[in-house]
């Protein structure tokens, strides 16, 4: 109950952070540790329908950011992935360093996938393909807001019937500071 109450507090905090577009409690974080904590929670709540796989690159540089915002973004992506696998499947959480030197966190599933039309609108606030009462349409918009406030980017890779991978890229202290200011320069995330 305490953990659920804390998650509710963090969700409200995420909504206010999204509205403010800043990082309220920035500190250096181990991205792998954030992923491990969320994976532990997922393993206890997926009812064995979905296998959670971790592929974490060790010795990553630290990310400067707000842990609860990043955790909420990750959990939003995981919940969407679980919803896309109603009959079960595999959820893969991985970290690494991208070719552009940014730290990456990828959430991949073996679910239903998205059409190009859905991918184009996926980050819009209140857009959802879920039935009434099932989704708010805020999950991916919050993820986009978190990444924008952290100077990062979001990429979606998906095909109908082939699952989805969402890649979050974070700058780290060794990254080119000019790079992060140009990553999200439009009202929508970079979608590939």
Reference 173, options 51, 58, 26, 42; nearest CA is: 26
pLDDT at residue 58 in the model:
93
Q: What percent of the chain has pLDDT over 70?
A: 72
Mean pLDDT per block of 10 residues along the chain (192 residues) reads: 65 58 76 94 78 94 91 92 91 93 95 90 78 68 89 94 95 55 35 36
Mean pLDDT computed over every residue of the chain: 80
Strands (E), 17-114: 27-29, 50-56, 63-65, 89-97, 103-109
Q: How many Å apart are CA 47 and CA 62, to the nearest integer?
A: 32
pLDDT at residue 178 in the model:
44
Neighbours of 23 (CB within 10 A): 17
Q: What is the dihedral of CA 132, 134, 138, 141, to 10 degrees?
A: -100
Strand 164-170 and strand 103-109: pairing?
Answer: antiparallel
């Amino acid at each position: 109950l305490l953990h659920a109450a804390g998650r509710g507090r963090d969700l409200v905090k995420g909504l206010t952070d999204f509205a403010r577009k800043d990082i309220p409690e920035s500190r250096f974080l181990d991205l792998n540790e954030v992923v491990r904590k969320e994976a532990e929670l997922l393993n206890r709540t997926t009812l064995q329908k979905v296998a959670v796989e971790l592929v974490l690159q060790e010795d990553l540089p630290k990310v400067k950011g707000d842990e609860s915002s990043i955790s909420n973004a990750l959990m939003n992506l995981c919940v969407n992935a679980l919803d896309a696998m109603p009959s079960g499947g595999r959820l893969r959480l991985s970290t690494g360093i991208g070719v552009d030197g940014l730290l990456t966190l990828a959430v991949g599933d073996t679910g239903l996938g998205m059409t190009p039309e859905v991918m184009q609108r996926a980050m819009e606030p209140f857009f959802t393909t879920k039935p009434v009462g099932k989704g708010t349409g805020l999950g991916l918009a919050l993820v986009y807001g978190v990444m924008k406030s952290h100077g990062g980017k979001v990429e979606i890779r998906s095909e109908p019937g082939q699952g989805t991978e969402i890649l979050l890229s974070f700058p780290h202290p060794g990254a080119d500071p000019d790079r992060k200011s140009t990553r999200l320069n439009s009202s929508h995330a970079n979608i590939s």
